[in-house]
Amino acid sequence: MNKTKLILFLAFAAFTAVTFIHPVYPHEQFLQHAGTILLLIPLFADLVKDRMPMSAFVGILLFAVLHVIGARYIYSYVPYKEWGVSLGIVDASFFQDPRNHYDRFVHFCFGVFLFPYIRYACKRWLNLKALPAIFMSWLIIQTGSMVYELFEWLLTIVMSPEQADNYNGQQGDIWDAQKDMVLAMMGSTLLAVYYFVKDMFQREE
């Protein structure tokens, strides 16, 4: 068992437990954590087998941290603006747009942080070479992003408008799904280019 991975996993578990103290939106928070469970499955499995590259393990963990924060406040109300001002990083006039963009940031990170794991899975389970693995990972990110947006759309059918908006974080933007998918594509494209260049240099060496 990799001790570094174990420490990171336990720190994440403790962080997640803290977010349940005095929950702000308890019903929505528990619903959001269905996604957290999915993220924990490969992490927990790797604690036993220790086959995943550290970059893939940390990528899933970082994305899970962002999701846990979003689950506590439900994405539309994560107070990142207040945190930035209180920490002295920016002043109050810095944020001109009234919209909360935390959900957009997480969709971008979906493409960035999960790419290393998906690339690893493509190489290990599909036996793909470097370049096909990069391309397949890029396609999987786009497909996953689209499937999630379809899932959110289905929620709008079975839930009340208020509950659906709280979960989806649409905030009145009719193009929210399309913008989220574009951001995921941008993040995955950034990583695809990185791995492509990295693999080219390794082949030259």
Residues 107-150: tens digit of each pLDDT: 999 999 999 999 999 999 999 999 999 999 999 999 999 998 88
Residue 23 burial (CB count, 10 A): 14
CA distances from 61 to 8, 11, 15, 93, 148 (A): 8, 10, 12, 33, 19
What pLDDT does residue 91 have? 86
- CA-nearest of 65, 48, 60, 72 to 13 is 65
CA distances from 189 to 158, 182, 185 (A): 34, 10, 6
The tally of CA atoms less than 13 A away on the side-chain side of residue 7 is 4
What pLDDT does residue 63 have? 98
Indicate the pLDDT class of residue 35, thresholds 50, 70 and 90. confident
13: pLDDT strictly greater than 80: yes
Hey, CA dihedral for 83, 89, 95, 101, is it positive or negative? negative
E strand map for 57-187: none
Which range, 4-18, 24-38, 90-104, 164-178, has the best average confidence (pLDDT)? 4-18
Indicate the pLDDT class of residue 169, thresholds 50, 70 and 90. low
What pLDDT does residue 43 have? 95
Average pLDDT over the chain, rounded to whole?
90
182: pLDDT strictly greater than 70: yes
C-alpha torsion 49→195→181→163, nearest 10: 30
Residue 3 burial (CB count, 10 A): 7
- Contact at 8 Å (CB) between 61 and 43? yes
Tell me what the mean pLDDT of segment 20-27 comes to.
Answer: 88
Tell me what the mean pLDDT of segment 172-199 comes to.
Answer: 92
- Contact at 8 Å (CB) between 48 and 1? yes
Tell me what the mean pLDDT of segment 166-190 comes to.
Answer: 84
Question: Would you mind telling me the total number of residues written for the chain in this entry?
Answer: 205
What pLDDT does residue 167 have? 60
Indicate the pLDDT class of residue 185, thresholds 50, 70 and 90. very high
How far is it, in rounded angstroms, from Cα 87 to Cα 96?
A: 18
Which range, 38-42, 75-79, 171-175, 187-191, has the best average confidence (pLDDT)? 187-191
